[in-house]
Structure 1
Amino acid sequence: MRIVSLVPSITETLFDLGLMTDEIVGRTKFCIHPKDYVDKIEIIGGTKNLNIDKIKSLKPDFIIANKEENIREQVEELMKDFKVLVTNIETLEDNYYLLKQLGHLFGKEEKAQFFNLKTYEAFDNQKSEKRLKVAYLIWKNPYMTVGGDTFISRILEELGFENLFNNQKRYPEIQLEDLKEADLIFLSSEPFPFKEKHIEEIQEVCKNQKIKIVDGEAFSWYGTHIAKCGEYYRVLSEDL
């Protein structure tokens, strides 16, 4: 089977399940894991600017997309010629069924079950002793955070945190003054690459909050990735 993945975390998942480079024939430029394998695969654009002609030239049997990460019109264009699976992952339960579905589709049920068990182990006993309010920033200029209906927010909850902006939708723009009710401010390493200098800038306004740069992949990459983040979650929880 020839597969094109339009989603970074799904590309990683397919390899983790045991598929190889002769089966995964196309990926986006943001599909960076596992590096030794993805470097051998044809790039078909970015998640939101797919090269439709290039995808067609690869003659895939199957394309995997995501409701949030890909542009609807581009996915619908591909659906005219190819079989496309559109995923929508908002909760750990969604993630469980995604792995189960992919395992069934590609005959990798045992591997899928393994990663599902590892995912639940990753969140076992990782909850903070005190339910701290967290503001999770994903962008600068303007500052943007995550609402309660996002996968990132669900991961925060699974780790025992409370999303300060839980009552808002998707990815609202905010002002630094809005962060003063938080106990913690997490600066994600992606999609905006927050650095130590940004901590200093935000600390000038948010003087009483603890600010920490966190691994964005550990909070936003679904599929098999979060199954491998148990140690990261443990260290993060202990540090806080």
Structure 2
Amino acid sequence: MRFIETFELLPLVNTTISLLAAFLFGTLIGVERQYRQRTAGLRTNVLVALGAAAFVDLADRIAGPVKSVQVISYVVSGVGFLGAGVIMKEGMNIRGLNTAATLWCSAAVGACTGADMIADGAVLTGFVIAGNTLLRPLANVIDRIPISEQAAEATYELRVTTSAAAAPALREKLIERLEAANYPVGDVESEEQGEDGVEIVATLVPTAVEPAELDAVAAAMESEPGVRHATWEGSVAG
């Protein structure tokens, strides 16, 4: 039997220690995820860490350290696909990014233990747990800080509604007024509104704005002959 020929006690003990370390570290990471009732909880993080450790250890025993490095690269990409499965899009919101990142880190912990770098795996485990617990209050504080219009990275559009006949002249007038206010225009489009209506949409080059200045441009455009309505809006980038 090949088992008798290949069986070696000391390498088996070494593998057992590596897998046990991966199991313990994965459990520590997974407990926090399970407590917060995330999609990937205790068992998932343990299995990811164990699987990564097993593949790296197996490659090292069969072909040596060079081959195990190649296997680590495969583990990284493979766990990336697994992490994509826990990311969910709900309308404009995306959930599960942190859970996916945690799975990726669990795989890194497992790779460390599979390469017999157990102390490194322990240190990494500590950082992962700290990132998911100690940084949470700080993230909550930052989320509550209001963002000013000037500080936000946003896309701004100025919209003017007019008739089809007046649209060409008002398009040029809109560009002139925006450039005079030092807001360069990135793009201008015309959208049909009903039978004789046209909405001119001027998208500004990404920049910080003063709301009062755009209000003034919109008011000036609204006073132009043929303009039915003028307004502006901004959307903050995610």
Fold match (TM-score > 0.5) = no
- Normalised TM-score (structure 2): 0.23
- Normalised TM-score (structure 1): 0.23
Work out which of the two has the higher radius of gyration on C-alpha atoms and give 1 or 2.
2
Greater helix fraction, Structure 1 or Structure 2: 2
